Structure 1
Amino acid sequence: MKAILIPIIALLLSFGLSMIITRLITMKRRREGRLTRRRRLVTFGVCLFLIYNIGAVVYFGIYSHATERAGDYLKGSGTVRVEQIDEGYRFDGPGSDDALVFYPGAKIEETAYAELMVDMAEKGLDCFLIKMPLKMAFFGKMKADDVIDKYSYKNWYVGGHSLGGAMAGVYASRAGEKLKGIVMLAAYTDDKLPDDLKMITFTATEDGVLNWDAYEEAKKNWPNNVTEVSIDGGNHAGFGDYGEQSGDNTATISPEEQMQRVADDTIAFVRVNEKYKI
C-alpha cells in the first residue's frame, strides 16, 4: 500500500532538489543582473523534469525478479496450457466454468506467481496473470475488464497479492455483477466491497511487510461472506516465488508449501464445498 505514495514523495523530493539546483545555477547570473524571471522558471522546469524522470527510471527499473524455478512453470503441465496474451498470461486447465484474474504485488515480476497459477488451473480454476504497467497494479487497476470482456466463463473471480490485492479490491468495488468473488493475499482494500460478493483472504503469521493495523481497520470494508485463512509459518514473500523481501520475517515453511495451501483453499472456496459451507 505504501507504494501508492511513492510517485507523490518522488515529485516532492524532485521539486525540492530542483529548487536547490536552480538556485545554484542561477546565483552567479542573478548577481550580474543577467537572468530574467522567465529564464529562472525555465531552468527550474528543466531540472524538475530531468530529476523526476531519471528517478522514475531508476525506481521502476529495480524490482523483484521471479526465480528460475518460477519461470519453469510457464511451460505449463500435463493438464495446464500456458499462453502468453496481450494482458499477460493465461493458464488454461481442465476447468471451463471458473476463472481468476490475478494482480501481482508491487514491483514484483508477474511470473513469480506462475507456480500458484498452475496449481489452481490444474484443479479447475483457470487463471489470468496480469502484466502491470511499470509492475505496479496501481496503474492497471481496471485491467481485469480487458480479460473478462474477451473470454467467456460462467464465474469470474479477481484477486492479488499485496498492492495487487488492494487494487483488485478497487476493481471489485466497481465491477458490479461481473464478479462472483475476490481472493486477497496479504492485502486489504480501502474500498467498500459489495455485500453479495464472497471473499477469501489469506495472511501469514511471519509476514513482516503487511500493515496489520490497516488490515484490521479495513475489515469494515469486507462483504458479508468472508473466509479468513492464516498460514502458520508463512511470510509475505511466500505468496510468490521471488526470493526474500525487505522488511519481511523469516518463514518456517517453503514458498511451495505456502502457495499450495493458497491453491487448495482457493479451490475449496470457489467450489463452495463442505470445507467452508458458503
Structure 2
Amino acid sequence: MKKKILMTLSIILILCMGGFGIYVNDYSHAQNNALEILNHKNVEKVNSNLITLTPEKKSDVGIIFYPGAKVENTAYLPLLEQITNKGYNCYLLKMPFNMAIFNKNAANKIINQYPNIKHWYICGHSMGGAMASSYVSKNKDKVDGLILLGSYIYGDVSDKDALTIYGSLNTSVKKKIDYKRNIVVIKDGNHANFGNYGHQKGDAKATISRKEQQNQTVKAINNFIEKRLN
C-alpha cells in the first residue's frame, strides 16, 4: 500500500515539474533591435544574471531593473539605454525562470556590489514592478525611490517616493491605483511597449509607437529623479 502511495505521489510530482517547466519556458523573447544593444560600448554583460549600462559621465545614481514575468530581460535594453543616456547607471537583472517572484531581493546583491552608487532606485515592469515594490517596502533605508511601469504600489511604500507610469489602454492597472501622487498616464500606450518583445496576449494594441511610449517613460523617470536629487 505504501509503495503504491509513494509511486502515485512520485508520478504527480513528475507531472507537476513537467508542467512547470513547460510554463516557464514559454516566455516572450527580446526582439533583434534590443539584442543589438548588447554590442554597444557602454553595455556590459557582467554575468548570466546581470547586464550593466554606464553613462558617459560619472554618476552616483543607479537604477536596478526587475523585468516583467516571462519576459526575456534583454527586451528592456532599448528603454534602459535611453535612461542611461540621461546620466544614470542601469543594472538589468535576469530573474530565475524569468520571474522576479523567485528572487525579489535580487537588488541586495547589486547594492552591495556597487558601493560607489549613493542613490538607488528600483524599477520594475508588471510583476517585476510588484516585486520591486515589495522589496522597497522592506528596504527603505537602502533606496531613494521606486519606479513602476505598468504596475502599481504593492506593500508599504508612500506614493511620495514612487513613480507610477502606465499606458491609458492598460485599464487593469488603473483600477488598482488608489493613490494620487506621481502618476503618469501615457495616452494611447499599452502594457507591453515598455519592452521590446512584441505583442503580449491579452494586451490592448497601442495607438502610439513603442518608441514614443518609451520616450515618454524616460522623460517621466528623468523628471522624477531630478526633482528628488535637487
TM-score range, shorter chain: over 0.9
Question: Which of 238, 243, 248 is matched with 2:203 structurally?
Answer: 248
Q: Residues 165 and 187 of structure 1 are in contact (CA less than 8 Å); yes or no, is this contact kept in structure 2? A: yes
Residue of structure 1 in register with 2:30 after alignment: 66
Distance 1:84 1:47 in 2: 40
Does 2:108 align with 1:145? Answer: yes
Q: Could you tell me which residue of structure 2 aligns to residue 88 of structure 1? A: 50
| 2-structure distance, mates of 1:163, 1:189 | 11
Shift of 1:189: 3.4
Paired amino acid for 2:183: E
Aligned length: 227
Measure, in 1, the Cα distance between the counterparts of 2:137 and 2:58. Answer: 26
Residue in structure 2 matched with residue 172 of structure 1 by the alignment: 136
1:235 maps onto 2:190 in alignment: yes
Measured in 1, the distance between the counterparts of 2:217 and 2:40 equals 19
Q: 2:166, 2:173 within 8 Å by CA — same for their partners in 1?
A: no
Once the two structures are superposed, the pairs formed by residues 152-167 of structure 1 within 5 Å of their partners are 152-167=116-131
One-letter amino acid of the counterpart of residue 37, structure 2: Y
Which of the pair has the greater relative contact order for Cα pairs under 8 Å at 6+ separation?
A: 2
Q: Is the 8 A contact 1:99 1:153 kept in 2?
A: yes
Instruction: Name the amino acid aligned to 1:163.
Output: M
Structure-2-length-normalised TM-score: 0.93
CA distance in 2 between partners of 1:61 and 1:139 (Å): 15
Q: Aligned partners of 1:165 and 1:271: how far apart in 2?
A: 21
Of structures 1 and 2, the larger Rg is shown by 1
* Consecutive unaligned residues in structure 2, runs of 5 or more: none
Per-residue CA deviations over 1:222-261 (Å, capped at 9, x if unaligned) read 8xxx311000111001111100001111101111111111
Q: Distance in 1 between matches of 2:212 and 2:173?
A: 23
In structure 2, give the amino acid aligned to 1:90.
T
Q: Which runs of 5+ in 1 are unaligned?
A: 1-36
Q: Tell me the alpha carbon deviations over residues 201-222 of structure 1, each in whole angstroms, 9 at most, x when there is no partner.
A: 10101226x4443x224x3xx8
Question: Using the alignment, how far apart are the partners of 1:145 and 1:257 within structure 2?
Answer: 32
- Following superposition, the deviation at residue 75 of structure 1 comes to 2.2
Per the alignment, residue 20 of structure 2 pairs with 56
Report if aligned partners of 1:95, 1:121 keep a CA contact under 8 Å in 2: no
CA distance in structure 1 between the aligned counterparts of 2:96 and 2:3, rounded to whole angstroms: 35
Cα displacement (A) at 1:121: 0.5
User: Once the 2 structures are TM-superposed, how far is the Cα of residue 126 of structure 1 from its aligned partner?
Assistant: 1.1
- The offset of 1:57, in angstroms, is 1.1
Question: Offset of 1:177 from its aligned partner?
Answer: 1.3
Q: Report if aligned partners of 1:159, 1:182 keep a CA contact under 8 Å in 2.
A: yes
User: Which residue of 2 is the match for residue 191 of structure 1?
Assistant: 155
- Structure 1 runs, 4 residues or longer, greater than 4 Å off: none
Hey, what's the Cα distance between the residues in 2 that align with 1:190 and 1:183? 12
What RMSD in Å do the two structures reach over aligned CA positions? 1.9
Distance 1:186 1:194 in 2: 18
- Offset, 1:40: 2.1
Q: Quick one: structure 1 residues 257 and 182, their matched pair in 2 at CA, closer, same or farther if it must change by over 3 Å?
A: same
Residues 14-37 of structure 1, C-alpha deviations (whole Å, 9 max, x = no match): xxxxxxxxxxxxxxxxxxxxxxx2
Q: Percent identity between the aligned chains?
A: 33
- Contact 1:239–1:259 at 8 Å: present in 2 too? yes
Residues in 1 aligned to 2:102 and 2:156: alpha-carbon distance in whole angstroms = 20
Once residues 263 and 126 of structure 1 are traced to their aligned partners in structure 2, the CA distance between those partners, rounded to angstroms, is 14
1:120-131 matches, cutoff 5 A: 120-131=83-94
Q: How far did residue 194 of structure 1 move?
A: 5.1
Q: How does 1:101-120 map to 2 (within 5 A)?
A: 101-120=64-83
Q: CA deviation at 1:264?
A: 1.4
